[in-house]
C-alpha cells in the first residue's frame, strides 16, 4: 500500500479533507446536485481553506491525481466546497459535485450495519460462534511460527471465533497483501482470488487457511468482514448486496451505492446524470 508523505500540516490536512469528500452525493435528493451555498458565518479562515485547494490543484497539475471534490462543513453547514480536475482521464469529463467515487473498504461498515440489523431482528447474537452459520470454521487452526522450526505449527483454537470477533477484527483472519509473516505469505500465495467465485466459495477458501492469531487476542485488519457478509447471506437467504439494498441502501436513498463499479457509463455521468436518465426511461 502506498503511503502518503506527511511533511507538513498542509499535506496532513489535505489528505484528511479528501477523505471527507467521498460521500457528498449520498442521500441527497436528485434535485440537489448543485453545490450548496457556503455559510457566511463560518469561523474557519477562508484564506487557509483556499490553501487546501491550491494543494489539490498542484497534485492534479503534477499528475498525482486526476481530480477531487472537497467538502468542509462546520456545524452542519458547508464552508468550503469545490470540484477539481476530471472524473475520467480518457474522456476528460470534469469532476462535479455529483461525481461517483469508488471507496475501498467501505463495504466493511455497510456489512457491519447489516449484521447489526440481524442482531436487532433477533436472528443473530454477537456471541454466536461463526461455525454455527459456516461449519467450515469449526476446525480452523492458528498458525504459529516457532524459532528453529521451518514449518508453521498449527494449533487448535483456545475458543471459537464469534460474530463479535468478525465485527471488531479480532477473529485472527488477516490479509495477504501486507506483512511478511508465514501466515500472511500463505494468504498471499493461496487460491483465494482465483477464477469466478461467490461469497460462499470465497469464505470456504478462507476457512482452509490458518489464523494469524488466537481469536480475541489482537486487532488484525483482514477478511473478517468478508466472512461476516457470508453470515448475513446464510441467515437472510439473500445475496449480501440484495439484503443490503433491500434493508439499508434503498430505504436511505443510497440508490447509486453498489459493491462494484460495474457500470462505467453511470459513473461517468455522475449521480444526477444517472438519475435523469432513469427519469427519462420511466417517462
Establish whether 221 is a catalytic residue. Answer: yes
Establish whether 105 is a catalytic residue. Answer: yes
Given pLDDT bands bounded at 50, 70 and 90, which one contains residue 96?
Answer: very high
pLDDT at 108: 94
Q: Which domains does the chain have, with CATH numbers?
A: 9-27+35-101 (no CATH), 107-247 (3.40.710.10)
d(CA 26, CA 106): 13
d(CA 149, CA 11): 45
**Candidate list 2, 43, 105, 146, residue with the active-site label:** 105
For range 131-147, the mean pLDDT:
94
Per-residue pLDDT of 189-234, as tens digits, reads 998 999 989 999 999 999 999 999 999 999 999 999 999 999 999 9
% of residues, the chain, pLDDT over 70 = 76
Grid cell in block for residue 79: 464552508
pLDDT at 261 over 70: no
Stated pTM of the model: 0.72
% of residues, the chain, pLDDT over 90 = 59
Q: Which of 39-48, 107-116, 187-196 has the highest mean pLDDT?
A: 107-116
pLDDT at 272: 55
pLDDT at 276: 47
d(CA 274, CA 279): 9
Q: In Å, how far from its chain's centre is CA 3? A: 18
**Candidate list 45, 48, 178, 221, residue with the active-site label:** 221
Given pLDDT bands bounded at 50, 70 and 90, which one contains residue 67?
Answer: very high
pLDDT at 6 over 60: no
- Three-state secondary structure along the chain? CCCCCCCCHHHHHHHHHHHHHCCCCCCCCCCCCCCCCCCCCCCCCHHHHHHHHHHHHHHHHCCCCCEEEEEEEECCEEEEEEEEEEEECCCCEECCCCCCCCCCCCHHHHHHHHHHHHHHCCCCCCCCEHHHCCHHHHHCCEEECCCCCCCCEEECCCCCCEHHHHHHCCCCCCCCCCCCCHHHHHHHCCCCCCCCCCHHHHHHHHCCCCECCCCCCCCCCCCHHHHHHHHHHHHHCCCHHHHHHHHHHCCCCCCCCCCCCCCHHHHHHHHHHHHHHHHHHHC
Q: Could you give the angle at which helices 9-21 and 46-61 cross, rounded to 10 degrees?
A: 80
**Candidate list 39, 108, 175, 259, residue with the active-site label:** 108
pLDDT at 280 over 50: no
Grid cell in block for residue 59: 497534485
Establish whether 107 is a catalytic residue. Answer: no
pLDDT at 208: 95
d(CA 125, CA 119): 6
Question: Quick check: 206 and 173 in contact, CB under 8 A?
Answer: yes
Amino acid at each position: 500500500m502506498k503511503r502518503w508523505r506527511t511533511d507538513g500540516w498542509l499535506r496532513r490536512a489535505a489528505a484528511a479533507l479528501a477523505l471527507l469528500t467521498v460521500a457528498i452525493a449520498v442521500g441527497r435528493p436528485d434535485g440537489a446536485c448543485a453545490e450548496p451555498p457556503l455559510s457566511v458565518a463560518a469561523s474557519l479562515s477562508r484564506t487557509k481553506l483556499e490553501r487546501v485547494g491550491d494543494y489539490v490543484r498542484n497534485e492534479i497539475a503534477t499528475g498525482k491525481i486526476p481530480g477531487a471534490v472537497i467538502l468542509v462543513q462546520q456545524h452542519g453547514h458547508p464552508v468550503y466546497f469545490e470540484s477539481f480536475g476530471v472524473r475520467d482521464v480518457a474522456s476528460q469529463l470534469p469532476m462535479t459535485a455529483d461525481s461517483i467515487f469508488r471507496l475501498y473498504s467501505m463495504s466493511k461498515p455497510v456489512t457491519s450495519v447489516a449484521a447489526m440489523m440481524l442482531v436487532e431482528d433477533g436472528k443473530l447474537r454477537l456471541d454466536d460462534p461463526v461455525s454455527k452459520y459456516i461449519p467450515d470454521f469449526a476446525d480452523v487452526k492458528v498458525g504459529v511460527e516457532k524459532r528453529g522450526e521451518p514449518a508453521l505449527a498449527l494449533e487448535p483454537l483456545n475458543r471459537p471465533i464469534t460474530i463479535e470477533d468478525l465485527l471488531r477484527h479480532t477473529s485472527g483472519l488477516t490479509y495477504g497483501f501486507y506483512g511478511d509473516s508465514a501466515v500472511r505469505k500463505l494468504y498471499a500465495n493461496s487460491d483465494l482470488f482465483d477464477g469466478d467465485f461467490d461469497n460462499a466459495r470465497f469464505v470456504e477458501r478462507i476457512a482452509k487457511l490458518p489464523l494469524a492469531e488466537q481469536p480475541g487476542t489482537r486487532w488484525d485488519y483482514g477478511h473478517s468482514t468478508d466472512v461476516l457478509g457470508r453470515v448475513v447471506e446464510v441467515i437472510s437467504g439473500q445475496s449480501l448486496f440484495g439484503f443490503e439494498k433491500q434493508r439499508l441502501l434503498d430505504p436511505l436513498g443510497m440508490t447509486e451505492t453498489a459493491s462494484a463499479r460495474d457500470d462505467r457509463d453511470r459513473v461517468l455521468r455522475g449521480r444526477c446524470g444517472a438519475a435523469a436518465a432513469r427519469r427519462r426511461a420511466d417517462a
